[in-house]
């Protein structure tokens, strides 16, 4: 396993990060525990979760994933070996059941969310606490277009940073990070931290894969120059890049069919691009999924690649992508497809 520094902190995280959002929906508690055992055995010390998991979000499974992680931590006693990341949910019309549906990133909500997560996780602290998405309308969540709403309001960044600082001083969280954020937003968070001497954002968790390289437009430079590296989610495009769905072969139980918010990976252009990426892998004797993950692993702006799996063999293979180094020939062929299908998942 390889390890990289989390932002400007002294924390070292595995390049492969264990994604957990299926636990409590597609995976049972026992299966979640098995995945954690395997990941830790393979050197994966970085796990990512969120208060709203499992996915898709609904009241019946709210907090289920954190609860599963909590029972593992209690039974295994290995908290000191794990860098644990979680997220606070922001404003969302679907989440009427969470804190009365009022979810600004203010001190009251942050304190309540942190305490609830700590209780479910059965731990005294969270290593990396992230804002799951922006309060304002932006294009950080894998969209190229930006729609400006002139009358939109959101919690001032300084107010949110002060609230997060309180949680750090209380010893409940160690570091903070962003998710689904834009280049403008990331720079504003960083500048406010510097201006006021407040905690600094250490990472940004956005979608990134062969099917969605929008992060490279603006945010890649920010990540490198500001030491605010990418935590890449959906690196396989909800499994599309494994090649197993080519020709429409997606069972009803597949995440692709169960999670309607990820329909962008099902379009005809995405299918065409996927076929070409899979063909590259097979020409060079590579597993398509491992090639796609290895590409993400190799990016200079990446801190960690968040992989998710519903079975242990899938997890084993995904973790093994860390040992694959793509040749210049493969990288050139990948870039050729990207030039032809630059943004196949609008």
- C-alpha 304/C-alpha 21 separation (Å) is 16
pTM for this entry: 0.96
Return the bridge partners of 19, or none: 48
**CB under 8 Å to 200, separation ≥6 — which residues?**
7, 8, 176, 190, 193, 194
Element (H, E) at 231: strand 229-233
Q: Domain limits of the chain?
A: 3-239+299-326
Q: Which is the catalytic residue, given 53, 62, 208, 277? A: 53
The mean pLDDT of the chain is: 94
Burial of 69 (0-12, 13-18, 19+ CB in 10 A): buried
- C-alpha 341/C-alpha 214 separation (Å) is 12
Burial of 252 (0-12, 13-18, 19+ CB in 10 A): exposed
* pLDDT at residue 261 in the model: 60
- C-alpha 120/C-alpha 94 separation (Å) is 22
pLDDT tens, residue by residue, 259-283: 666 667 778 889 999 999 999 999 9
Both structure tokens of 212: 């969605």
Q: Per mean pLDDT, which range of 146-155, 167-176, 243-252 is the poorest?
A: 243-252
DSSP 209: B
Among 49, 21, 18, residue whose Cα is nearest residue 258: 21
pLDDT at residue 198 is higher than 80? yes
* DSSP β-ladder status, 46-48 and 83-88: parallel
Helix (H, G, I), strand (E, B) or coil at 90: coil
Please state the φ and ψ torsions of residue 88, each to the nearest 5 degrees: -95, 135
The fourth-level CATH superfamily of domain 3-239+299-326 is NADP-dependent oxidoreductase domain (3.20.20.100)
pLDDT tens, residue by residue, 206-227: 999 999 999 999 999 999 999 9
Q: Clarify whether 53 is annotated catalytic.
A: yes
Burial of 129 (0-12, 13-18, 19+ CB in 10 A): buried
CB contact at 8 A, 292 and 208:
no
CB contact at 8 A, 22 and 308:
yes
* Residue 195: other Cβ atoms inside 10 A: 9
| Cβ burial 300-321 (10 Å sphere, 16+ → b, else e) | ebbbbbbbbbbeeebbebbbeb
pLDDT at residue 166 is higher than 70? yes
What is the arithmetic mean of pLDDT over 126-149?
Answer: 90
Q: How far is CA 122 from the centre of its chain?
A: 22
- C-alpha 104/C-alpha 263 separation (Å) is 27
pLDDT tens, residue by residue, 93-128: 999 999 999 999 999 999 999 999 999 999 999 999
* Percentage of the residues of the chain whose pLDDT score is greater than 90: 86
- C-alpha 140/C-alpha 184 separation (Å) is 9
Q: Which residue has the tokens 């010390």?
A: 45
């Amino acid at each position: 396993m390889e390890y990289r520094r989390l932002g400007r902190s002294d924390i070292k995280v595995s390049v492969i990060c264990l994604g957990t959002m299926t636990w409590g929906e597609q995976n049972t508690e026992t299966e979640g525990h098995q995945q954690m055992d395997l990941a830790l055995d393979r050197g994966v010390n970085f796990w990512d979760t969120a208060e709203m998991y499992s996915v898709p979000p609904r009241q019946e499974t709210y907090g289920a994933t954190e609860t599963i992680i909590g029972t593992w931590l209690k039974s295994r006693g290995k908290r000191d070996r794990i860098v644990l990341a979680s997220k606070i949910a922001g404003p969302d019309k679907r989440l009427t059941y969470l804190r009365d549906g009022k979810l600004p990133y203010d001190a009251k909500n942050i304190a309540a969310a942190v305490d609830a997560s700590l209780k479910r996780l059965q731990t005294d602290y969270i290593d990396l606490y992230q804002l799951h998405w922006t309060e304002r309308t932006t294009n950080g969540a894998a969209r190229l277009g930006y729609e400006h709403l002139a009358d939109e309001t959101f919690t001032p960044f300084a107010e949110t940073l002060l609230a997060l600082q309180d949680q750090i001083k209380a010893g409940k969280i160690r570091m903070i990070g962003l998710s689904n954020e834009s280049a403008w937003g990331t720079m504003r968070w960083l500048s406010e931290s510097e201006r006021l001497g407040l905690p600094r954002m250490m990472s940004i968790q956005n979608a990134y894969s062969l099917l969605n390289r929008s992060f490279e437009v603006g945010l890649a430079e920010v990540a490198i120059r500001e030491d605010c590296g990418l935590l890449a989610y959906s690196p396989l495009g909800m499994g599309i890049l494994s090649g197993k769905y080519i020709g429409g072969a997606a069972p009803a139980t597949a995440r692709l069919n169960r999670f309607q918010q990820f329909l962008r990976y099902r379009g005809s252009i995405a299918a065409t691009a996927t076929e070409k990426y899979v063909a590259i892998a097979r020409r060079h004797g590579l597993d398509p999924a491992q090639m796609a993950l290895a590409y993400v692993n190799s990016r200079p702006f990446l801190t960690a690649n968040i992989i998710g799996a519903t079975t242990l063999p899938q997890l084993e293979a995904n973790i093994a992508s860390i040992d694959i180094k793509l040749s210049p020939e493969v990288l050139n062929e990948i870039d050729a497809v990207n030039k032809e299908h630059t943004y196949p998942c609008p």
